[in-house]
Structure 1
Amino acid sequence: MTGLTEGDLFRGLIAVAAPIVAGNVLQSVLEMVDLFFVGRLGYEAIAGVAMSSTIVMVLMTIIIGLVTANTAFVSRHYGARDLDMVAKAVYHTLILGLVFSIVLTAVGILFAEDMLLFLGAEPDVAVLGASYLAVLFAGIATMVELWVINSSFQSCGDATTPMLLVVLANILNIVLDPLLIFGYGAVPAFGVAGAAYATVISRGVAFAIAFALLLSGRTPIPFSLRTTFEGALARRLILVAVPNSVQSGLRSVTFMVMMAVVAVFGTAAISAYGIVGRLETVALMPGFGVATATAVLVGQNLGAGKPERAAQGVRLSALMNGGFMALVGVIFFFAAPSLIEIFDPSGTSTEIGMSYMQTVAPFYVFIAVAIVLGFALNGAGDTKRPMYATLFSMVLFQVPLAYILPDLLGIGIIGVWLAVVCGAILQVGMLFSMYRRGTWKTAAI
């Protein structure tokens, strides 16, 4: 379907990456729209959603690892043209995703407010955030299964179908956001929870269509509900998923701890951190699209017995991503106040948010390259090394620095931002060293 294993490498990479980038950017724009409407409810509402998003990242780590394992399995076997194994991998990932979603629903609903209070949220912020989380986790299964199906299509080189599904979901979400947040006519105003209702409903519609396509026989995946569940294959998927889940968990816990550190500086600081975090996410989405295509490229070429072509693709992706994020860093550095005040017109978040952007944005190129290298290793099924890099650079290095630097250097919250920069530099250095060893080329899954 693409030129990932043969032909022009750049064109093949762009053919897969472009729809993923478009879908990712649309998804990020949707999150910005959510934040825009929620921001009309006050900066406490922004803080509640920002802290809730951090908790979602932590609880979704198992699913992130599972999707990564699915990408490695599907792309590898698709590259080897073993379509029966492709279909089995997708079926087993969907089953495992459903099981883990049920667990997430229970944990997310039962402990939402407690987790927000643990992070340091003020009681009113915790109540707002809990109303958002309860709804989001009630419908998490459809979001997870949609993610699995989309990653399966992408791993076979079909990035257009997932993009169209994301477009549909985002249009529906944007329409529902103001309706459910503020209410209209017979529709009551759900406040912060309305943003979560809009997300769940729109993702549910997209999942229904995606699953129907999967069953239709008109996709690269010969999927069947009659597939027999095999414990051995499920265990293989989990063995590849666990290190990536741990890696994602370490990253998410780091973000959660960083949120708690920021909370010490007040609710306005949390609001600013939430805004710059969303802006940063939007900026990184093209890079995540390129990195996802890189993971598919690596998996398919290893499956086709072409490890050197895989390495060429990784170098190309790193140059593309690094160059793009260097440009974004310049824009964010100079446009920080205007960007932040779009979401918090009161100006409460501007000064702190600006300090973050002007400290961290010049180093975005390091984050961009680290993303590509991490995805490349994961796409090869070598998920342990990125886990070690995350452990040392973020948990054992960045977090302690975030606690120490503000008082040690007497620079307040800027010390927290410097810790982010130091962690990013260490992480890219470790990942580059691991990548250069080349053991990923012979990783077994």
Structure 2
Amino acid sequence: MTELTEGDLFRGLITVAAPIVAGNVLQSGLELVDLFFVGRLGAEAIAGVAMSTSIVMVLMTVIIGIVTANTAFVSRHYGAKNYDMVAKGVSHTLVLGLVFSMVLSVAGIIFAEDMLLLLGAEPNVAALGASYLTVLFAGSVMLVELWVINSSFQSCGDATTPMLLVVLANFLNIALDPLLIFGYGAVPACGVAGAAYATIISRSVAFAIAFALLLSGRTQIPFSLRTKFELTLAWRLIRVAVPNSVQSGLRSVTFLAMMAIVAVFGTAALSAYGIVGRLELVALMPGFGIATATAVIVGQNLGAKKPDRAEEGVRLSALMNGGFMALVGAIFFFAAPAIIEVFDPSGASTEVGVSYMQTVAPFYVFIAVAIILGFALNGAGDTRRPMYATLVSMALFQIPLACILPDLLGIGIGGVWLAVVSGAILQTGILFSMYRRGAWKTTVI
């Protein structure tokens, strides 16, 4: 376990962030592998999986909030060296994750195709997406519980174990992808659904190992299946989780709304948006790793009564992530055509994909800083302010702007991309203003 409340803060940040970044890059690399194999099934398959992924993001917002609450709670009590409360937090989060993921699974399975059609997918795209979505939701409990355990290890400064679990799961997933998508020998070709089967199987194996480690007593978390469930503690976690769930929901609904707006411009545009969305997620994954480490640093140092050290950690993270994303933005801007054509050899997605990258990529630095600030506030347990920032900048500003600008400026889908840029800049400004006021330093969980 890494101690983040003493010693060289930069070294501590790197020690925790590096394995998380590596795990995130591997995970996002897996997303690209999925996209590569699915792309061999055609633009309609790409569009179906892209829209399905967006729906998963929306329905998983409750779980994202619970995991965020777990990070804030566990890191705060770990920093205060209250290990019994650490164990209780993990136990209660696992129970909450189990309950909510089962409810979401049922909803996702029943309404899979209807949700895709509601987003504007053509019937054949919706059918392909539903075959992927149904399988993914059927096994979502394993995905969620693995996520909770990994976040618990990270909150205690152990980022290496989650990374190794991700490595194992991803290699298994990559091996299963072509086998289950295209079939071989006695294994039937499952098409788009094969990518989802590969994800569920690989994550189930990783979860089994993670849970065994948690029960082994070899970690810093004195976890026990006999821990009594306390409604008051569960409510404390839910109070932190709800605003973050709303925030995540707003972000996901915004993405879905943008997907629906893009769908008006045709399947090729939708396919391009799916590709650049996955590529952008890959680019942002290192930043999410740094941001996760930032949330842990903030939580642990607030628990140790060291708010100034927490603030220094945020500053270092913002500089690191901002510089990295500025470099990524430059690469995407100049190499956009070649990058897009790797994932859609037909070239149908190239023109729209390039227009997105060359409009949005130069502003990645704003997105990078916003991610760090949002995670810092969440790590402190102050989840309401990021929720408000997301509501204003995305739901109330970006979506209406995306509807208006294409016709107002007469530039078609380019107006949608300008709305994305404008929303990112506004969100960064709002979060920075909230962060500078410093109320997060006195947040009680």
* TM-score of Structure 1 vs Structure 2, range by shorter chain: over 0.9
Provide the residue aligned with 2:290 in structure 1.
290
2-side partners of 1:413 and 1:107: how far apart? Answer: 33
Instruction: Give CA-to-partner distance per residue, 1:246-274, whole Å, 9 cap, x none.
Output: 00000000000000000000000110000
1-side partners of 2:72 and 2:277: how far apart? Answer: 28
Provide the residue aligned with 2:220 in structure 1.
220
Q: Deviation above 3 Å: which 4+ runs of structure 1?
A: none
Matched, 1:422 2:402: no
1-side partners of 2:308 and 2:299: how far apart? Answer: 12
Provide the residue aligned with 1:190 in structure 2.
190
Q: Contact 1:121–1:263 at 8 Å: present in 2 too? A: yes
2-side partners of 1:58 and 1:211: how far apart? Answer: 26
Provide the residue aligned with 2:264 in structure 1.
264
Per the normalisation by structure 2, the TM-score is: 1.00
Provide the residue aligned with 1:11 in structure 2.
11
Unpaired runs of at least 5, structure 2: none
1:44-443 equivalences under 5 Å are 44-443=44-443
Q: Contact 2:323–2:365 at 8 Å: present in 1 too? A: yes
2-side partners of 1:220 and 1:363: how far apart? Answer: 40
Instruction: Give CA-to-partner distance per residue, 1:5-39, whole Å, 9 cap, x none.
Output: 11001000000000000000000000000000000
Amino acid paired to 2:351 = E
Q: Contact 1:117–1:126 at 8 Å: present in 2 too? A: yes
RMSD: 0.4
**How far is the alpha carbon of 1:438 from its aligned partner?**
0.3
1:29-40 equivalences under 5 Å are 29-40=29-40
Q: Contact 2:16–2:157 at 8 Å: present in 1 too? A: yes
Q: Contact 1:61–1:249 at 8 Å: present in 2 too? A: yes
Instruction: Give CA-to-partner distance per residue, 1:154-199, whole Å, 9 cap, x none.
Output: 0000000000000000000000000000000000000000000000
Unpaired runs of at least 5, structure 1: none
Amino acid paired to 1:193 = A
2-side partners of 1:3 and 1:330: how far apart? Answer: 36
Q: Contact 2:23–2:166 at 8 Å: present in 1 too? A: yes
Amino acid paired to 2:192 = V
Per the normalisation by structure 1, the TM-score is: 1.00
Matched, 1:21 2:51: no
Q: Contact 1:3–1:11 at 8 Å: present in 2 too? A: no
What is the SS of the residue equivalent to 2:218? coil
**How far is the alpha carbon of 1:98 from its aligned partner?**
0.3
What is the SS of the residue equivalent to 2:345? coil
1-side partners of 2:8 and 2:237: how far apart? Answer: 32
2-side partners of 1:154 and 1:418: how far apart? Answer: 36
Q: Contact 1:3–1:13 at 8 Å: present in 2 too? A: no
Q: Contact 2:3–2:157 at 8 Å: present in 1 too? A: no
What is the SS of the residue equivalent to 1:347? coil
Q: Contact 1:75–1:300 at 8 Å: present in 2 too? A: yes
Instruction: Give CA-to-partner distance per residue, 1:201-247, whole Å, 9 cap, x none.
Output: 00000000000000000011000000000000000000000000000
Instruction: Give CA-to-partner distance per residue, 1:393-443, whole Å, 9 cap, x none.
Output: 000000000000000000000000000000000000000000000000000
2-side partners of 1:3 and 1:413: how far apart? Answer: 48
What percentage of aligned pairs have identical amino acids?
84
Amino acid paired to 1:239 = R
What is the SS of the residue equivalent to 1:348? coil
1-side partners of 2:268 and 2:49: how far apart? Answer: 13
1-side partners of 2:266 and 2:107: how far apart? Answer: 27
2-side partners of 1:338 and 1:435: how far apart? Answer: 39
Instruction: Give CA-to-partner distance per residue, 1:286-335, whole Å, 9 cap, x none.
Output: 00000000000000000000000000000000000000000000000000
Q: Contact 2:389–2:427 at 8 Å: present in 1 too? A: yes
Amino acid paired to 1:340 = I
Aligned residues: 445
2-side partners of 1:342 and 1:157: how far apart? Answer: 38
1-side partners of 2:281 and 2:376: how far apart? Answer: 20
Instruction: Give CA-to-partner distance per residue, 1:99-118, whole Å, 9 cap, x none.
Output: 00111111110000000000
Q: Contact 2:380–2:443 at 8 Å: present in 1 too? A: yes
1-side partners of 2:22 and 2:215: how far apart? Answer: 25
Amino acid paired to 1:209 = I
2-side partners of 1:3 and 1:272: how far apart? Answer: 44
**How far is the alpha carbon of 1:3 from its aligned partner?**
4.2
**How far is the alpha carbon of 1:4 from its aligned partner?**
1.3
2-side partners of 1:31 and 1:293: how far apart? Answer: 22
Q: Contact 1:92–1:234 at 8 Å: present in 2 too? A: yes
Amino acid paired to 1:18 = A
Q: Contact 1:90–1:149 at 8 Å: present in 2 too? A: yes
2-side partners of 1:292 and 1:338: how far apart? Answer: 31
